[in-house]
């Protein structure tokens, strides 16, 4: 064959190969992961402890096994609320191939068609776990149950991290004042009075746009104060037991029905009691708490100025290794409310706040299927949740225990938070996720005004009732299948 014709032939062949993607240099498939709490990064000069990095190790190993895959870690823009950012991405169809979102938020939005149903994949074997027949079998049953959708069959989220809350306390201050961790609300108030008289801030509590601590507290107080009304609120006879799944005892539908019946009402003195007790507690918080955020409250505690703070398992690692801490610390559970403090108290122990809701509640947006990356993304998720990978990854973060049946090698400091679930978690969601996002915002603004003495208890509760009914009606419109009349 003449050289010129041979050259043209080779050139045409190369063009065909390149256009059909059959060359050995095929473009890699990219899986973007919003790793959220596990997002790996280098330590900065301003860091007082090491940030998580273990996902880099897993990324390197996975890409060695799968050279056609490129894992990329992304995160929400600095200063932007992560939930707002993800909701925007899901709405616009631009969400990363895998992300993290709480099960309550996922199941509230499931009807919008945003998520891939993970249930069929959980029935398949995990190739990275020896002798595994079904991927779901490596997880605790509570993890799979927590992620179930309202239909009891679909699974749009895979919650894999167990977390909890506790009150962190300064053992040195407690020893100087001559007090011990309380078990009841009365004891809790009494020791804070003694701490205040000794010249310390009894409790560091953030309220500057920081909803979580107020949310945890009101969830727990409400559960104890409304214990005697739970069956009436749910619309059943007998006792409504706590489970290990947050707010699963009374569903959103049942809560809306209770609001429409007037059984769950901010006009009810028994309901109002939670706000009265919350404000009673606030006199022991730092001055100007309405302007203090979570970092500010943490600094008051870690510097030894405040005797206590309310935190999740995510703060174990920071408190443990923070060089600013010059004291011994301990943990105790939220105190139970007795008749000494409220006529509505039954004496039931405080419900746990937490469950399989910590770092690692994974979702795969439906848009991932449009890119034909679902199988690859599922495989990556199987890889990182294999015990030999997940346990060291969780230890590296130090914020949540993996919801795996295998426990060998787990950091012992996370055990108290896992153990707290034995008491069961709160039965009704509080203002934060119980109804609508608009209700949460309105409730919190009213709560702040009440704490600032700009509203009386009755005025605050009347405003909350208006917002509560508005939210209930909005949910009725969203869920016509409930068959609830306005």
Q: Which residues pair with 312 in a beta bridge?
A: 165
Buried b / exposed e over 368-403, threshold 16 CB at 10 Å, is: beeeebbebbbbbbbbbbbbebbbbbbbbbbbbbbb
Q: Half-sphere exposure of residue 400, counting CA atoms within 13 Å on the CB side?
A: 21
- Contact (Cβ atoms closer than 8 angstroms) between residue 307 and residue 169: yes
Helix axes 457-478, 252-261, angle to 10 degrees: 120
Buried b / exposed e over 293-312, threshold 16 CB at 10 Å, is: ebebbbbbbbebebbbbbbb
Per-residue CA distances from 335 to 201, 342, 363, 416 (Å): 19, 13, 35, 16
Tokens 């404000």 correspond to 279
| 471 three-class SS | helix
Phi and psi, residue 158, nearest 5°: -115, 95
Encode the chain (486 residues) as per-residue pLDDT tens digits: 554 444 444 444 444 444 444 444 568 999 999 999 999 999 998 888 889 999 999 999 999 999 999 999 999 998 888 889 999 999 999 999 999 998 888 988 998 999 999 999 999 999 999 999 999 999 999 899 999 998 889 999 999 998 889 999 999 999 999 999 999 999 999 999 999 999 999 999 999 977 899 999 999 999 999 999 999 999 999 999 998 887 789 999 999 999 999 999 999 999 999 999 999 999 999 999 999 999 999 999 999 999 999 998 889 889 998 999 999 999 999 999 999 999 999 999 999 888 888 788 999 999 999 899 999 999 999 999 999 999 999 999 988 889 999 989 988 888 777 777 788 889 998 888 889 989 999 999 999 999 999 999 999 999 999 999 999 999 999 999 999 998
Q: By 3-state DSSP, what share of the chain in percent is helix, strand and coil, each rounded to 5?
A: 50, 10, 40
Task: Sort 485 into a burial class: Cβ within 10 Å, 0-12 / 13-18 / 19+.
Answer: exposed
Contacts of residue 160, defined as CB under 8 A and 6 or more positions apart, other chains included, come to: 139, 143, 356, 360, 361, 362, 385, 390, 402, 403, 404
DSSP assignment of 236-286 = -SS-----SSTT-SS-HHHHHHHHHHTSS-TTSHHHHHHHHHHHHHHTTBP
Tokens 């700009």 correspond to 454
C-alpha angle 169-361-160 in degrees, rounded to nearest 5: 80
Per-residue pLDDT, 26: 67
What is the C-alpha separation between 435 and 252, in angstroms, rounded? 7
What is the C-alpha separation between 437 and 472, in angstroms, rounded? 12
Instruction: Check: pTM over 0.85? Answer yes or no.
Output: no
- Going by their DSSP bridges, the two strands 161-170 and 354-355 should be labelled as antiparallel
What is the C-alpha separation between 159 and 356, in angstroms, rounded? 6
**Residue among 213, 217, 210, 218 nearest 293 (CA):** 210
What is the C-alpha separation between 436 and 438, in angstroms, rounded? 5
DSSP assignment of 8-70 = HHHHHHHHHHHHHT-STTPPPEEEEEE-GGG---PPPTT-SSPPP-HHHHHHHHHHHH-TTEE
- Contact (Cβ atoms closer than 8 angstroms) between residue 426 and residue 246: yes
What is the C-alpha separation between 73 and 78, in angstroms, rounded? 15
* Domains delineated in the chain: 24-161+360-422 (3.40.190.10), 163-355+428-435 (3.40.190.10)
**Residue among 87, 70, 460, 93 nearest 271 (CA):** 460
């Amino acid at each position: 064959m003449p050289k010129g014709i041979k050259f043209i032939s080779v050139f045409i062949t190369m063009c065909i190969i390149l256009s059909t993607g059959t060359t050995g240099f095929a473009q890699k498939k990219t899986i973007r992961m919003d790793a959220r709490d596990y997002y790996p990064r280098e330590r900065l000069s301003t860091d007082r402890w090491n940030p998580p990095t273990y996902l880099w190790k897993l990324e390197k190993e996975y890409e060695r096994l799968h050279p056609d895959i490129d894992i990329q870690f992304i995160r929400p823009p600095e200063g932007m609320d992560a939930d707002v950012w993800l909701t925007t991405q899901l709405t616009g169809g631009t969400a990363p191939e895998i992300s993290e979102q709480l099960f309550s938020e996922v199941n509230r939005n499931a009807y919008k068609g945003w998520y891939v149903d993970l249930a069929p994949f959980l029935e398949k074997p995990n190739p990275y776990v020896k002798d595994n027949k079904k991927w779901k079998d490596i997880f605790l049953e509570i993890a799979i149950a927590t992620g179930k959708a309202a239909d009891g069959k679909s699974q749009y989220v895979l919650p894999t991290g167990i977390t909890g809350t506790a009150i962190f306390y300064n053992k040195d201050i407690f020893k100087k004042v001559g007090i011990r961790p309380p078990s009841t609300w009365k004891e809790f108030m009494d020791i804070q009075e003694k701490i205040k008289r000794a010249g310390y801030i009894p409790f560091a509590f953030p309220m500057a746009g920081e909803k979580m601590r107020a949310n945890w507290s009101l969830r727990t107080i409400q559960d104890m104060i409304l214990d005697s009304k739970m069956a009436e609120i749910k619309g059943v006879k007998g006792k409504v037991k706590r489970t290990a799944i947050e707010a699963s005892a009374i569903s959103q539908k049942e809560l809306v029905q209770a609001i429409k019946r007037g059984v769950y009402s901010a006009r009810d003195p028994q309901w109002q009691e939670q706000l009265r007790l919350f404000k009673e507690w606030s006199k022991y918080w730092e001055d100007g708490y309405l302007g203090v955020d979570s970092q500010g409250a943490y600094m008051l505690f870690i510097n030894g100025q405040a005797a206590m703070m309310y935190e999740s398992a995510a703060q174990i690692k920071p408190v443990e290794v923070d060089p600013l801490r010059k004291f011994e610390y301990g943990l105790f559970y939220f105190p139970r409310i007795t008749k000494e403090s409220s006529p509505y108290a039954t004496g039931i122990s405080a419900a746990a706040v937490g469950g399989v809701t910590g770092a690692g509640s994974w979702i795969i947006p439906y848009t991932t299927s449009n890119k034909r990356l679902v199988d690859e993304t599922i495989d990556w998720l199987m890889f990182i949740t294999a015990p030999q990978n997940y346990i060291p990854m969780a230890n590296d973060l130090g914020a949540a225990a993996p919801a795996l049946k295998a426990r060998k090698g787990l950091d012992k400091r996370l055990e108290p938070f896992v153990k707290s679930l034995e008491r069961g978690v709160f039965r009704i969601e509080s203002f934060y996720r119980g109804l609508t996002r608009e209700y949460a915002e309105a409730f919190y603004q009213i709560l702040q005004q009440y704490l600032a003495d700009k509203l009386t208890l009755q005025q605050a509760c009347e405003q909350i009732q208006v917002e509560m009914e508005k939210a209930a009606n909005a949910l009725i419109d969203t869920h016509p299948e409930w068959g609830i009349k306005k």
